[in-house]
Amino acid sequence: MNRWISITTLALLCALCAAASGVTVRDVCRIEGQGESILQGLGLVTGLRGTGDSGEDLIVARPLARVLENNGLPVGSLEELGNSKSVALVLVSCVIPREGARVDDRFDITVTVLNSASSLEGGRLYLSPLTGPYPGSPVFAIAEGDVELESLRTPTRGKVRRGARLRQSILPPDIRGEFNLIIEPRYAGQQTARHVAQRIEDEYRLSPEGAFDRESRPIAEAIDDRTVRVRVPDDLADSIAGFIADVMTTEVDPAQMRLPARVMVSRSAGSIVVTGDVEISLVAISHRNLVIRRVEPPPAPNEMNPLITNERVVGIGTRARASERAKLDDLLEAFKALDVPVDDQITIVEMLHKVGRLHADLVAD
């Protein structure tokens, strides 16, 4: 299915007035040391209909035999599992958000085939321990559940929704005295750093606590393109959590940060996401069997009888004035009308960026 989404500047970059739709510090920054955590492990997906690994592969037969033995069904010889094709050895991974997590919290997990299995469709992940990414890490979670394919084009990869259940809490580090806000790479820049620092400073000075703060030192200051240092006021040292919450929910003005337009493409999800009013320079595109119908009124225009020509080359150029560029939205609309496959759309967008005709940052998933 041809799926593409155009997120307008109004929705993403100019949501300035309504508090409910405002962009906050949390949307563009993270607290240093409070990044995402990755849990991982090996597991077995069972219940496959002949699409699993061969039981003759020892890398699969050994863990399968161990599972059977732990459940009271010991296997005399690994050769007994030789005809099995209903089990697949998979890599299991889970992302814990930067805010951390507590015991019994549940998270989605991703499973990926490690051996020769051709599909995980209809399978179920058997109980699998998840540890940290380093050798010797303890077990933080147990994963299990039904596997859902992310895409029919990649049947060897799937998700288990809320499949990981934490057995140990993963908490962010404590903050004392001061902390750094790290601006996400896609928003990095001196303008962003200065604006974030100024907004935090303004909000604090207008608060009841800030109004009586006799210290002349700033609460927030921009250090570089990606770092804003925030000082915890002395009178709030005993209520740091509340102060941090106020900082992270401070609204910022995206227009003041002068963020570039961005195009995000994902072949696995089959989607193209456009932020801002993305322009493209004069260019001609010819790709495979791409055909577009262009309507050109004849010398005596007749709405009921236009001249229609078919072309294999799609011209994307300027409009009324030479200073105006074509919009990427126009090209995507043409793709949609012609039912151009998303993979082909993404290829063309990537080529436009490569030759410098796409006036936006390109992010590929």
**pLDDT for 81-106, tens place per residue?**
666 788 999 999 999 998 899 999 99
Topology of domain 18-34+173-252 in CATH is: Dipeptide-binding Protein; domain 1 (3.90.76)
pLDDT digits (tens, 9 = 90+) for 137-157: 999 999 999 999 988 889 999
Closest Cα to residue 24, out of 196, 191, 186?
196
Q: Output b/e per residue, 245-265; b: 16+ Cβ within 10 A.
A: ebbbebebebeebebebbbbb
* pLDDT at residue 121, rounded to an integer: 95
Which residues, including other chains, have CB under 8 Å from residue 121's CB and lie 6 or more apart?
A: 48, 49, 51, 147, 149, 155
User: Between these two residues, 44 and 80, which has the higher pLDDT value?
Assistant: 44
Look-up of token digits 């759309």 = 345
Least confident of 59-63, 207-211, 276-280: 207-211
Burial label for 209, CB within 10 Å (0-12, 13-18, 19+), is middle
Amino acid, single-letter form, for residue 107? F
Q: How far apart are CA 252 and CA 292, in angstroms?
A: 43
359 touches 324 (CB < 8 A): no
Percent of the chain with pLDDT over 70: 77
User: Between these two residues, 292 and 39, which has the higher pLDDT value?
Assistant: 39
Q: How far apart are CA 150 and CA 160, in angstroms?
A: 10
* pLDDT at residue 66, rounded to an integer: 79
* Entry pTM: 0.62
- What's the chain's average pLDDT? 80
Q: What distance lies between CA 219 and its chain's CA centroid?
A: 32
Q: How many CA atoms within 13 Å lie on the side-chain side of 153?
A: 8
* pLDDT at residue 176, rounded to an integer: 82
User: Between these two residues, 236 and 193, which has the higher pLDDT value?
Assistant: 193
Residue 69 scores a pLDDT above 80: no
Residue 24 scores a pLDDT above 80: yes
* pLDDT at residue 10, rounded to an integer: 36
Which of 27-31, 109-113, 269-273, 286-290 is modeled with the greatest confidence?
Answer: 109-113
Q: How far apart are CA 74 and CA 67, in angstroms?
A: 9
Residue 232 scores a pLDDT above 60: yes
* pLDDT at residue 297, rounded to an integer: 45
Band of pLDDT at residue 200, cut at 50, 70 and 90? very high
Q: How far apart are CA 133 and CA 101, in angstroms?
A: 17
User: Between these two residues, 6 and 364, which has the higher pLDDT value?
Assistant: 364
Q: 206: phi > 0 → left, psi -120 to 50 → alpha, else beta; which?
A: alpha
Number of H helices, E strands in the chain: 9, 24
Closest Cα to residue 271, out of 211, 341, 204?
341
Band of pLDDT at residue 357, cut at 50, 70 and 90? confident
Q: How far apart are CA 311 and CA 289, in angstroms?
A: 10
* pLDDT at residue 284, rounded to an integer: 72
Residue 30 scores a pLDDT above 70: yes
Burial label for 362, CB within 10 Å (0-12, 13-18, 19+), is middle
Question: At 128, phi and psi to the nearest 5?
Answer: -135, 125
Q: Where are the domains of the chain?
A: 18-34+173-252, 38-166, 262-364
* pLDDT at residue 360, rounded to an integer: 84
Residue 5 scores a pLDDT above 50: no
Local structure of residue 258 (DSSP, 8 states): T
- Tokens read off for 177: 């005295």
- End-to-end alpha carbon distance in the chain: 18
Distances (CA, A) of 6 to 60, 327, 333: 45, 12, 10
Percent of the chain with pLDDT over 90: 36
